[in-house]
Copies of this chain bind each other. A is one copy, B any other.
């Protein structure tokens, strides 16, 4: 079983409008609603790949209830979210049907109290020490009230339990989390530059590894992945430019890396899977889902180059 942690889970809404005009009134022609937050997205892809996943983090209020109702209807996913008094945030993507462009509005999330955080730490510790836990993914931003060193604590608890741990976050929570020596971090180019101060990807990736992570997998958009691992260094590149919506492509890459780790795949095979899942997510009609046919089609065409 794989655990994904989403401290700032969300109810993701997508509104389609004929054309977005500031200061005007719009009739929304299409409303889509689904559970969100990076760890929840990773869990959905892992479940689709056939892995049992347990989702934890925080949920509260009516929006949290709706999120949990959605999770209860997702096969392969077990809900182990901890209740908080505040309401789970909404994120809203407004899609302009004319141009296809998206405008994003993200609520900040509930303020987590010290008692709620302490209760989560206990529940998390029990989860990672449970039977049959193969890996943990720690994903996304921190809600208000959660200490900035949160991910460092969660990385150490997983390592103490002997469970491989992947970290996907940004800013100061990433900086502190990396120092706790996670097995894998997966920054994008911007997060990597912010962490290391270096803008050249291969230099920045090596630098990030020196800060404590056992392996660093940098996601470079259309240029694929750059991985610096104990087994070697690779670039993994998709076959040609994929057109579509990049929402969730990074989360699909995390699911690819994590499922590959749990299945005992080599690093090149894990990277190929991560790149193919990313490309199949960009190509999918629904934002954040992946297209299984595009995945099967892309997987053998990913180029792996040792570097």
Residues of A that sit less than 8 Å from B by CB = 15, 17, 20-29, 31, 62-63, 65-66, 69, 92, 94, 96, 101-108
B-side contacts of A104, CB under 8 Å = 24-26
Query: Closest 10 A-B residue pairs measured CB to CB?
Result: A25-B104, A62-B66, A23-B101, A28-B107, A26-B105, A22-B103, A31-B107, A20-B22, A28-B105, A62-B62
* Structural contact, A26 and B66, CB atoms closer than 8 A: no
With beta carbons under 8 angstroms apart, the residue of B22, B62, B66, B96 that contacts A101 is B22
In the complex, given contacts A20-B103, A22-B103, A25-B106, what are 7 additional A-B residue pairs having Cβ atoms less than 8 angstroms apart?
A22-B22, A26-B104, A27-B106, A28-B106, A31-B107, A62-B62, A62-B69
Closest to A13 in B: B90
Give complex CA distance A99, B271 in Å.
47
Closest to A26 in B: B105
Give complex CA distance A119, B260 in Å.
55
The distance from the CB of A21 to the nearest CB of chain B, in whole angstroms, is 8
A-B residue pairs in contact (CB < 8 Å), sample of 16 = A15-B92, A15-B105, A20-B103, A21-B103, A23-B96, A23-B101, A23-B102, A23-B103, A25-B106, A26-B104, A28-B105, A28-B108, A31-B108, A62-B65, A62-B66, A92-B92
B-side contacts of A21, CB under 8 Å = 103
The distance from the CB of A63 to the nearest CB of chain B, in whole angstroms, is 8
B-side contacts of A63, CB under 8 Å = 62
* Structural contact, A108 and B23, CB atoms closer than 8 A: no
Give complex CA distance A92, B105 in Å.
11
Closest to A31 in B: B107
Q: Tell which of A23, A27, A31, A105 has the most Cβ of chain B within 10 Å.
A: A105
With beta carbons under 8 angstroms apart, the residue of B23, B66, B108 that contacts A27 is B108
Give complex CA distance A63, B104 in Å.
21
B-side contacts of A69, CB under 8 Å = 62
B-side contacts of A101, CB under 8 Å = 22-23
Give complex CA distance A25, B102 in Å.
9
B-side contacts of A102, CB under 8 Å = 23
Given A62-B62, A62-B65, A62-B66; A22-B107 close (CB under 8 Å): no
Give complex CA distance A105, B20 in Å.
9
B-side contacts of A25, CB under 8 Å = 104, 106
Closest to A25 in B: B104
Give complex CA distance A70, B141 in Å.
30
The distance from the CB of A290 to the nearest CB of chain B, in whole angstroms, is 22
The distance from the CB of A91 to the nearest CB of chain B, in whole angstroms, is 9
